[in-house]
Chains A and B, each alone.
Chain A
Amino acid sequence: MLDVKNLTFRYPDTETTWRFTFQVDHGQCIAINGPSGSGKSTLLNLLAGFLTPESGTIHWQSRLLNDLPPWDRPVTSLFQEHNLFEHLDVQTNIGLGMHPGLKLSAEQKQAISRGLASVGMAGFESRMPGDLSGGQRQRVAFLRALLRDQPILLLDEPLTGLDAEARTQLRSLLLRHKAAGKVLVLASHDAEDRKILADKQLNL
């Protein structure tokens, strides 16, 4: 279970202090609701370790995450854009999620090819991100998250800007991921996304 208790944060030179408390179980998705500037992305950055909270705790399976650096946390982030390294091809982008030095076994390389085929992108290994559509880029980023195999997926408007077909496809991939027991934390303006994916809501 992901357990966030009285987590507070304030940007330097600002008055507003955000406070977050919620819990999410395995195989659940929590949707973070609120207008722009209400702290949705801030919460995701706190969970990922990109920001340091003033107080409060983040526990995963009873283990405190607060002091862990981003690379040691059991999370993967999926943003609206800029998820891929633009100068590296698709296979390298995914492979870096499996080993940060790209030391991959033959099995892992096969897993990348199989994964690409499973998201309708067979043979895209050597393509550059700049050659892909928005939907394809998000599928590559999602595949990296999938193969990275972390229990918590942080989603910051991951479907915004995609066409209807790409949205539907990515939604079904996320639902499958959730069904596999992963925790999803979703920040999205889109009511339909929240309705389809989320099991519980957190209003900011």
Chain B
Amino acid sequence: MRQFPFGSTQAPLSHPGWQIGPGLIIAGSLLALTIAGLAAMLWQAHLPEVAKLWQNRYLGNVIRFTIWQATLSTALSLVLGLLIALALARQPRFRGRSLLLRMMELSLVLPTIVAVSGLVGVYGRHGWLTSVVEHWTTVRWNLYGLNGIVLAHVFFNAPLAGRILLQALESVPAPRRRVASQLGLTGWWLWRTLDWPAVRRVLPGIAALVFTLCFTSFAIVMTLGGGPASTTLEVAIYQSLRFEFDFGRAALLAIVQLAICGAIWLFMVRRGLSANLSPQRSFSETIRRPDSQGITRLWDAALLVCFALFLLLPLAAILLQGLPGLVTVAVDGGTSLADLAEATLRSFAIALPAGAFSVLSALLVLALAGRGGPQLARLSSVATAVPLMVPPIVLGTGLFLLLRPSLGHSSQGLALVALINGLMALPFVTQLLKGPLAGLDQATAQQADQLGVLGWYRWRWLHWPRLKRPLALAMAYGTGLSLGDFGVIALFGTPGQPTVPVLLYQQLGSYRMELAAGTALWLLTLLLLVFATFNLPGYRKRKQSRHQNDALNTLAEARHA
């Protein structure tokens, strides 16, 4: 007979310190880094000058324009998102529905600068749609300025809002939807009894999220702003740092931005609106709604087709205009090809460490949340939310000011870009890993405890099988977000050593449109390659994984029931 005690000494890394320590260090470092960056800004900002800021006409205009474009973009994104969500909820059998939903997912990963290139191809001075409209009508349209900024923001945020709202609409319990269907409720009463209560719960949260994203948007304003009249806070901070070397003003602007974004996020957290704001892939069972027939059906179909075209045309423009550009670069070779190859290597040199950093940090901080008690769970939650509260340019500014004296070699700047990119991806990566990592139910955990499956063994036998695929997806997200970044790199990078997004920006700025289209297509291809590569093991073992996932899902459902 085996003598007890046993187990505790057998499992490597089973000491509680191993589960709490690394996460504590990471969470503490994240907060320390943020606080140090903000402190460096405060030190530079000379707070009494805040009053002067409001008297400065240019800066006043910048703040007003930032708020105005964000408000307009948010309102339009929400209205369009709601219309699309309602149409999709009414038409569960709409042909191409799943394809449209996939396209709506793209907004989470499509690099802004690539989308801008596609939008220019459709709505720009010589864009497809602009040419058609100007040929047949007297309407004149200028993409650059408020028009383009709002259009691009709606392109990115309406799909995001639409997916979250659709999820809310479809989360209405099936029995309630069946009752509405049986009673034949339509129009106002269906909206009043079924849709509005579901939408109302998430609407303030989405509004805050979209407003923050539009408020802190950088690449779109940089490329489509078109001049000083359309400058936002982010761009003004960038200009202060890069061109005017006015660190005090940059810090002051960053503080204004932080105050506004922080207030919005505080409002969201207080109201409990931050949870479940990222769209999920699965949708509930489809129950035919009484208002899905007749003229409504035609209207919905027309709306969904128009929306699909709205999303598809810029992507088609990237493909069709980019292909010749890419072929030209490949055939001609020379400096263009060398530039693209170098930029690609540089992008990966930043993106891969950034992805790995975000995944590792998320894992360690989540482990801290799971094993460390309520106070440490709160610390981990705050640490992973910090990048959402503190926009990249603000954090970047703080760290720039903090490290400026010692930042010498350009590789140090790139390392800093990788670090900040990793931090920016952290909230999304955490969201992806949170569920699978916390999925160990009480019965399984108790069994594992009794058998001494602790520490490394617990990770190997219980967590790893559940986390393999989410980890690959998280790595793809982390790497992809960094690969498409054109915010932090603009601040720390040097024009002579561009990443692919910076190269694209330079080509757009010098009106080398064919080259730019080729580079945009290349960046999109790289992104797809990243996602395909990290998900390859999943495809190879799809059958086995499906079996495992089915078993895990069944288990989870049984436990929840």
Contacts and interface: CB of A to CB of B under 8 A. Distances in A.
B451 A148 contact: yes
A97 B451 contact: yes
A53 B479 CA distance: 49
A76 interface: yes
Interface string B441-466: 00110111111111011001110011
A71 B551 contact: no
B60 interface: no
B167 to A, nearest CB: 27
Contacts of B7: 71-72, 100
A151 interface: yes
A72, A73, A88, A148: most-surrounded residue (chain B CB, <10 A): A72
Contacts of B4: 68, 72-74, 150
B447 A149 contact: no
Contact of B461 (A77, A79, A92): A92
A97 B460 CA distance: 15
B551 A129 contact: yes
B453 to A, nearest CB: 5
Contact of B552 (A72, A74, A87, A100): A87
A72 B5 contact: yes
Which DSSP category, helix, strand, loop or mixed, fits chain A's interface? loop
A151 B1 contact: yes
Interface in A34-88: 48-50, 68-77, 79, 82-83, 85-88
Given A82-B444, A82-B559, A128 B551 contact: yes
A48 B446 contact: yes
B11 A87 contact: no
B2 to A, nearest CB: 5
A75 B451 CA distance: 10
Which DSSP category, helix, strand, loop or mixed, fits chain B's interface? helix
Nearest to B6: A72
A72 B466 CA distance: 27
B276 interface: no
B388 to A, nearest CB: 33
Given A101-B10, A128-B547, A150-B4, A86 B552 contact: yes
B328 interface: no
Contacts of A130: 547, 550-551, 554
Contacts of B552: 86-87
A99 interface: yes
A151 B1 CA distance: 8
Interface string A118-139: 0000000000111000000000
A92 B443 CA distance: 18
Contacts of A96: 451, 453, 461
Interface residues of B, number: 37
A100 B453 contact: yes
A49 B449 CA distance: 9
Interface in B540-561: 547-548, 550-552, 554-555, 558-559
B55 to A, nearest CB: 58
Given A85-B462, A128-B551, A130-B554, A70 B8 contact: no
Contacts of A85: 444, 447-448, 461-462
B2 A76 contact: no
Nearest to A50: B446
A107 B446 CA distance: 28
Contacts of A77: 446-447, 450
A88 B5 contact: no
A92 B457 CA distance: 12
Contacts of B457: 100-102
Contacts of B548: 87
Contacts of A83: 447
B452 A68 contact: no
Contacts of A86: 551-552, 554-555
A75 B456 contact: no
A82 B2 CA distance: 25
A71 B554 contact: no
A147 B557 CA distance: 30
A82 B443 contact: yes
A194 to B, nearest CB: 24
Nearest to A82: B443
A79 B444 CA distance: 11
Given A72-B8, A79-B443, A150-B4, A88 B450 contact: no
Given A82-B559, A92-B461, A101-B460, A68 B5 contact: yes
A88 B457 CA distance: 13
Contact of B449 (A69, A88, A151): A69
Interface string B517-558: 000000000000000000000000000000110111011001
Contact of A101 (B443, B448, B456, B547): B456
Contacts of A76: 450
B4, B444, B548: most-surrounded residue (chain A CB, <10 A): B4
A83 B448 CA distance: 10
Nearest to B466: A87
9 A-B pairs with the lowest CB-CB distances in the bound complex, closest first: A72-B5, A71-B7, A71-B452, A100-B452, A82-B443, A70-B449, A86-B551, A86-B555, A74-B4
Interface of A: 48-50, 68-77, 79, 82-83, 85-88, 92, 96-97, 99-102, 128-130, 148-151
Given A83-B447, A130-B547, A148-B451, 15 more contacts: A68-B5, A69-B449, A71-B449, A72-B5, A76-B450, A87-B465, A87-B548, A87-B551, A88-B461, A92-B461, A100-B7, A100-B457, A101-B460, A102-B461, A150-B4
6 contacts: A71-B6, A86-B551, A86-B554, A100-B457, A101-B12, A128-B547
